[in-house]
Chains A and B, each alone.
Chain A
Amino acid sequence: MSKEYKYIGKGVPRIDADLKVTGQATYVGDMSFPGMLHAKMLISPHAHAKIKKIDTSKAKALDGVAAALTGEDLDYQVGLYMVDKTILAREKVRYHGEPVAAVAAETLEIAEKAVKLIEVEYEELKPLLDVEEAFNEKANLIHPNLGSYSHVQTAFFPKPGTNICHHSKIRRGDIDKGFQEADVIVEREYNNPSVQHVPMETHGAIVQWGIGDRVTIWTSAQSPFTVRNLFCHTFKLSHHQVRVIVPYVGGGFGGKAGIHLEPLVGCLSRATGGRPVKLIATRKEEYNTLPCRCGLKYKIKTGLMKDGKIVAQKLTLLWSAGAYADYAVNVTRASGYSAGGPYFYPNISTDSYTVYTNMVFGTAYRGFGHVELFWGLERHMDYCARELGIDPYEFRMKNLLKPGDITPTGEKLKDDSGDIRKCLNAAAKEIGWDGVKSEQQRIKEMQSGKVRGKGFAVLHKAPAMPTNTSSSCVIKMNENGSVILNISATDYGNGTYTPMAQIIAEEMDIPLDKIHVAYETDTDRDPYDWQTVASRFAPMGGRAVINACNDLKRKMSEVAAKVFECSPDDFIFQDEKIIHKSDPQKFIYYDKLATGYVYPNGNAIGGPLIGVGVYMAEGLTHLDKETGQGLPAFNWTYGAHAIEVEVDVETGEFTILKIASALDVGKVLNYESLKGQVIGGIIQGLGTAICERYVYDNKGRLLNNSFTDNKIPTAKDIPLEIVPIFIETPHDEGAYGARGAAEHPMISVAPAIGNALRDALGIELTEMPIRAEDVWKALKEKELVFEPATV
Chain B
Amino acid sequence: MLEFLHDDLAILSVKEGCGEGECGACTVMLDNKPVNSCLILAVEADGTSIRTVEGEVKDGKLSPLQESFKKNHATQCGFCTPGMIMSAQSLLERNPKPNEEEIKEAIEGNFCRCTGYRQIIDAIFEVTKNAK
Binding site for B on A (CB under 8 A): 11, 13-14, 16-27, 29-30, 197-202, 248-251, 253, 282-283, 492-495, 672-673, 675-676, 679-684, 706-708, 712-716, 718, 722
Contacts of B116 in A (CB 8 A): 676, 679-684, 713, 718, 722
CB distance from B62 to the nearest CB of A (A): 6
Could you tell me if A200 and B71 are in contact, using CB atoms closer than 8 angstroms? no
Cα–Cα, bound, A248→B76 (Å): 11
B34 in contact (CB, < 8 A): no
Specify which of B22, B25, B69, B115 is in contact with A708 (CB 8 Å cutoff).
B22
Could you tell me if A283 and B118 are in contact, using CB atoms closer than 8 angstroms? no
Q: With A676-B119, A715-B117 given, is the CB distance from A21 to B79 under 8 Å?
A: no
Could you tell me if A20 and B114 are in contact, using CB atoms closer than 8 angstroms? no
Contacts of B71 in A (CB 8 A): 13
In the complex, the chain B residue whose C-beta lies closest to that of A707 is B22
Q: Please report the total number of B residues contacting A with Cβ < 8 Å.
A: 52
B85 in contact (CB, < 8 A): yes
Cα–Cα, bound, A494→B77 (Å): 7
CB distance from A712 to the nearest CB of B (A): 6
In the complex, the chain A residue whose C-beta lies closest to that of B54 is A23
Q: With A251-B113, A672-B72, A715-B108 given, is the CB distance from A200 to B25 under 8 Å?
A: yes
Contacts of B79 in A (CB 8 A): 27, 199-201, 250-251, 493
Q: With A23-B82, A27-B79 given, is the CB distance from A200 to B112 under 8 Å?
A: yes
Could you tell me if A680 and B115 are in contact, using CB atoms closer than 8 angstroms? yes
Contacts of B16 in A (CB 8 A): 29
Specify which of B18, B54, B66, B121 is in contact with A715 (CB 8 Å cutoff).
B121
B45 in contact (CB, < 8 A): no
CB distance from B34 to the nearest CB of A (A): 14
Contacts of A18 in B (CB 8 A): 62, 70
In the complex, the chain A residue whose C-beta lies closest to that of B77 is A493
CB distance from B28 to the nearest CB of A (A): 11
B52 in contact (CB, < 8 A): yes
Could you tell me if A16 and B78 are in contact, using CB atoms closer than 8 angstroms? yes
Q: With A22-B57, A22-B66, A494-B76 given, is the CB distance from A707 to B113 under 8 Å?
A: no
In the complex, the chain A residue whose C-beta lies closest to that of B11 is A23
B96 in contact (CB, < 8 A): no
Cα–Cα, bound, A30→B54 (Å): 15
B53 in contact (CB, < 8 A): yes
In the complex, the chain B residue whose C-beta lies closest to that of A252 is B77
For the complex of A and B, list the 5 residue pairs with the smallest distance between their C-beta atoms, beginning with the closest.
A23-B13, A493-B77, A250-B79, A20-B78, A683-B116
Q: With A22-B57, A30-B12, A715-B120 given, is the CB distance from A676 to B76 under 8 Å?
A: yes
Known contacts A20-B81, A712-B113; 4 further A-B pairs (Cβ under 8 A): A26-B12, A673-B73, A684-B113, A714-B111
Specify which of A21, A202, A249, A684 is in contact with B81 (CB 8 Å cutoff).
A21
B80 in contact (CB, < 8 A): yes
Q: With A16-B78, A21-B81, A21-B85 given, is the CB distance from A283 to B19 under 8 Å?
A: yes
B31 in contact (CB, < 8 A): no
Cα–Cα, bound, A29→B73 (Å): 24
Contacts of B113 in A (CB 8 A): 197-200, 251, 253, 680, 684, 712
Could you tell me if A672 and B77 are in contact, using CB atoms closer than 8 angstroms? no
CB distance from A103 to the nearest CB of B (A): 19
Could you tell me if A679 and B22 are in contact, using CB atoms closer than 8 angstroms? no
In the complex, the chain A residue whose C-beta lies closest to that of B120 is A715
Could you tell me if B75 and A21 are in contact, using CB atoms closer than 8 angstroms? yes
B97 in contact (CB, < 8 A): no
B56 in contact (CB, < 8 A): yes
